[in-house]
Amino acid sequence: MKHLFARKASLSLHIARTLLISCVGLLPVQHHAWGQEDLGTLQDLLPPSASKPTSRSLNGRVRLFDNFLIHPLPVWSSFANGPAPAERSKIRTANKSGLYQMSMVPKDEVFDSWQNLFTIVSKQNDKRSVVQHARLVMQQFRAVCSPSNLQVIRVHASPQLHIQVVACGNYSRDRSKGQMAVIVTMRNQVGLATLTRQWRTPAFQSKIQTSWPVPKNEMEGVIGELARSRLIPVKMTKG
């Protein structure tokens, strides 16, 4: 099991180091201390012992039907400042008719007019592949973004992990505003989950990468962090 987690960590670092070099011509991502931190073990998913208080985790853990998802908490300022604790965020969840949704925004923002957004979405008994689900997510962006000012970059695609970057230069109905997004969809044998980190920004030219409003080191850092997330079957934590 430890070897499996080590391979996943190695993959995420490799993705973070190479994805934007080949796709958008940016420099390799730098190694930061936060990027090397362990996401914990299966033991972390079990209820804590009352006699053994545990330290506060910098990772989120959520039950998604037949899976547990362990994910780094979003960083609202800059990655140099380290992971932001949940206390700095507003969190909204919904679980209805087999669809789980979680949204997080910084504490000084509101959900209706967010500037920074982190989401997790999972559907029970979802049989779609990560590529099929990624296409569905893209349809949502294409519905609101100006077609002539939209770039979608596929960063990584495998049966277990799909990563894409969206540069929405401006919305169709509000040409003064745009949006950037990192979208990670992961699957295992019992389920699928999609994580997104989104930025709402002033309008920009999506085809001119130097005009992108999110700094390259922040974009690379978010991709590297989300790629480290783990989807673990509940049955692996029992027994």
Q: What is the pLDDT of residues 88-107, one digit of tens each?
A: 889 999 998 999 999 999 99
Beta-carbon contacts of 76 under 8 Å, excluding residues fewer than 6 positions away, are: 84, 88, 89, 106, 116
How large is the average pLDDT for residues 158-166? 95
* Structure tokens given for 133: 């689900």
How confident is the model at residue 37, as a pLDDT? 39
How confident is the model at residue 118, as a pLDDT? 95
Beta-carbon contacts of 167 under 8 Å, excluding residues fewer than 6 positions away, are: 150, 151, 152, 153, 178, 180, 204, 206, 212
The partner residues of 181 in beta bridges, in order of sequence, read 166, 198
- Residue 47 CB neighbours (<10 A): 5
Q: Is the pLDDT of residue 24 over 70?
A: no
How large is the average pLDDT for residues 115-141? 94
Q: Does 184 or 239 have the greater pLDDT score?
A: 184
How large is the average pLDDT for residues 20-35? 35
Q: Give the count of alpha carbons within 13 A of 96, CB side only.
A: 2
pLDDT tens per residue, range 189-210 = 999 999 999 999 999 999 999 9
Q: Is the pLDDT of residue 50 over 90?
A: no
- Record the pTM: 0.77
Domains for the chain: give ranges and CATH numbers. Answer: 2-47+56-237 (3.40.1000.10)
